[in-house]
Amino acid sequence: MTPRLVARTGLSAVLVAVLLLSACGQQAAAPGDPPAGDPPAGDLPVTEPADVARFDLVPDEHPGPFEAVGFVLQDEGHGPQLCVGGIATSLPPQCGGPDLIGFDFASMPAGSYESVGASRYGSFVITGVPQGEAIRLTAPARPAGPDDLDEQPRSPEPSFASPCPEPAGGWRPVDPARATEEAQQAAGVRARSVAGYATMWIDQSMVTPEEIAAEQVNDPMRYVLNVSTTGDLAEMEAAVREVWGGALCVSAAARSEAELTAARDALDADERSGAGPALLDLQVDVLAGQVTATTLLAREADQRRLDERFGTALVRLSSVLRPVGA
């Protein structure tokens, strides 16, 4: 199996993405799929159709076979693989994931895939069973049609608007002299020093369409700096206000950065030592307060064990394979 292109996302990477993406003018900058009309976000560009669908847990008693819908890539370095964890929009694309034993591009209908040099790639429905870290096909693969792609489960789009009530008179700086990029960076450092810190993001809902069109975005005078914490809200606000004079919203978080980091690192260490399953992708969602671990086949019993270890809903398992027809 080739290395994943997007894996083990750190909290700092997510924070940077949240802050930088605000320059694109969305109502509330954040990682993941943005609201309609906003530019795409994420760790890497993703080709169309997108990365393999992630499914909920497989019942413990289900014997298989299973299926997956996703992007398949073969290049000069490896045979057919089901892409998991992001697809780089190079030409040809680049990605990694489980090997597909029994898949043959030559048997696919003409026009169902593209070729660039030694690379072959396209979206397919795969039916098979796990064989180690690979998938062994138990039925011929077929091209994924619009219905297959439309039926894929999608996570609900979270809201990244500031959760605090809008102040009387609207969001505005309390001290314009300290509503600067330098002050915002200092606020990030200060917030991280307070116990319970979770994450920070920018909400640009104050920016007008005319300002967006004129590329007048990412102005500290025109955005709300959001900080979330599992600790005392007043303590966090006081600490940030020592350096930040712009609009500010401090809100409660489900999990702290430290909790999420510890869970992510424990899962990563388990895999590296052989004590845990092979992880196809390991992501941290700081806004949801959750770590998502994607494996080839994630069963209900696997989730129960993680809930007992880390607490309910801190780590969420995601399965690439699902029961056929589910």
Using a 10 angstrom Cβ sphere, with 0-12 exposed, 13-18 middle and 19 or more buried, the burial of residue 87 is buried
Local confidence pLDDT in tens for the 326 residues of the chain: 444 433 444 443 334 334 433 333 333 333 333 333 333 333 322 233 344 444 578 888 888 899 999 999 999 989 999 998 778 888 889 998 999 999 999 999 999 999 999 999 999 999 999 999 999 999 999 999 888 776 555 555 667 789 999 999 899 999 999 999 999 999 999 999 999 999 999 998 877 777 777 666 788 998 999 999 999 999 999 999 999 999 999 999 999 999 999 999 999 999 999 888 889 989 998 888 999 999 999 999 999 999 999 999 899 999 999 988 76
Report pTM: 0.73
Alpha-carbon distance of 126 to 47, in angstroms, equals 19
Alpha-carbon distance of 165 to 237, in angstroms, equals 15
Closest of 270, 308, 283, 261 to residue 54, by C-alpha: 283
Strand boundaries in 140-236, DSSP class E: 142-143, 197-203, 224-229
Q: What angle do CA 92, 94, 97 make, to 5 degrees?
A: 140
Helices 257-273 and 11-21, interaxial angle, to 10°?
A: 130
The residue with tokens 């993406």 is 21
